[in-house]
Amino acid sequence: MIQIETDRLILRELQLSDEDRFYLMDSNPEVVKFIEPVKNREQVLMNIKSVQAQYKENGIGRWAVIEKESGLFIGWSGFKYYKDGVNNHSNYYDLGYRFIPEYWGKGYATETCVAWMKYGFENFNKNEFYATTHIDHKASKNVLEKVGFKYIETFDDEGDLTDWLKVTKEDWMKLNQTIYF
């Protein structure tokens, strides 16, 4: 199984055994403030299976984030491939992440985003990646901007005002050349 390691984290494909911690995350009102919360464990299993199908269909999907020190699932992070249109775009990779609140503010989102950007630009034949975040989710937007994403516009995503951000390979390399290249 392919995995990515950072100093503090292991990123690997989601497994059905991640159900309990995934449910802990996605049933927490703080975590799902800007999205629909899950109502039961069956929904979590369906979500995990849906992501696993994305691995087979698209070769990528959100991955589990495991804290090395504790060995615990602390969230997910990674690319999702969108074939169908979102904000008048199709066939693009979206970078996203979600974490259990006790792991917020520790730099884990930034750490996973840096790892994913490096992985994406090295392994996908793409010169740009996108990300979206609810306009009121300032912490998420800050993480994205910290790793090089730039605000493009705000759009209506099924009734939610959403910020659309993009990072190019050129901008990423300028920002990170002394660290990663």
Q: Give the CATH number for residue 159.
A: 3.40.630.30
C-alpha 13/C-alpha 159 separation (Å) is 31
State the residue range of the domain holding 124.
3-180
Q: What are phi and psi of 20, to 5 degrees?
A: -60, -50
Q: What is the 3-state secondary structure (H, E, C) of 85-134?
A: CECCECCEEEEEEEECHHHCCCCHHHHHHHHHHHHHHHHCCCCEEEEEEE
- 30 vs 52, more confident: 52
Q: Do 29 and 39 contact (CB within 8 A), yes or no?
A: no
Asked whether the predicted pLDDT for residue 180 surpasses 50, the reply is: no
What's the number of domains the chain is made of? 1
Tell me the whole-structure pTM to 2 decimals.
0.92
- Percent of the chain with pLDDT strictly greater than 90: 77
Asked if 58 contacts 81 with a C-beta cutoff of 8 angstroms, the reply is: yes
Q: Report how far residue 174's alpha carbon sits from residue 181's, in angstroms, rounded to the nearest whole number.
A: 10
Kindly tell me the number of DSSP H helices and DSSP E strands found in the chain.
5, 8
